[in-house]
Amino acid sequence: YQYFPYHAAILWFGLYTMITKQVKFGFKEWLRNDLILYALFICAIWMNSITIKFSTNFMFVVCPPAKGLPLLNLNHGWHVYIIHYMLIAAICTFLFQLPFMIKEWKAKKALKKASRKRLESGADVKEELQYMDIVRKVERAGDCVYTMLQSV
């Protein structure tokens, strides 16, 4: 029964973040999410080693979920299994976020095109450039504060 609350919490968290629109998908987010997923792999390996007495297999990092799977098997050793597992996870998360990445790329392309059109028409963009510079500096300061808070 221990798996039910764990998986229910994961589903609830995923639905909550999507409903409240606290999630942003894109290429940078995909990289960050995959790094977090790989950190969870390491935590699961550690957790399974602590609870080996109970034959736990959190995140299927000890052995495959079923026998006879073509890529996820222990035929070539555990290291090959875990590399295949991580590659499949990266591909699946990439395919999931690909539509959001395409939408982001199209929006950036359209913004660049609109900006070029305004410049070619002779628009004065001095104030807008100053505003963008201020936003960039505030964002950089926010990143520095975030990094400092993470290190504390």
Model confidence pLDDT, tens digit, residues 27-66: 888 888 888 888 888 888 888 888 888 888 877 888 888 8
C-alpha 27/C-alpha 100 separation (Å) is: 9
User: HSE (CB half, 13 Å, CA atoms) of 136?
Assistant: 6
Model confidence pLDDT, tens digit, residues 122-133: 777 777 778 888
| 10 CA to centre of own chain | 15
CA distances (Å), 42 to each of 5, 80, 86, 114, in order? 21, 15, 11, 45
Which pair of tokens denotes residue 21? Answer: 């629109």
**Model's pTM, two decimal places?**
0.62
Give the pLDDT of residue 87. Answer: 92
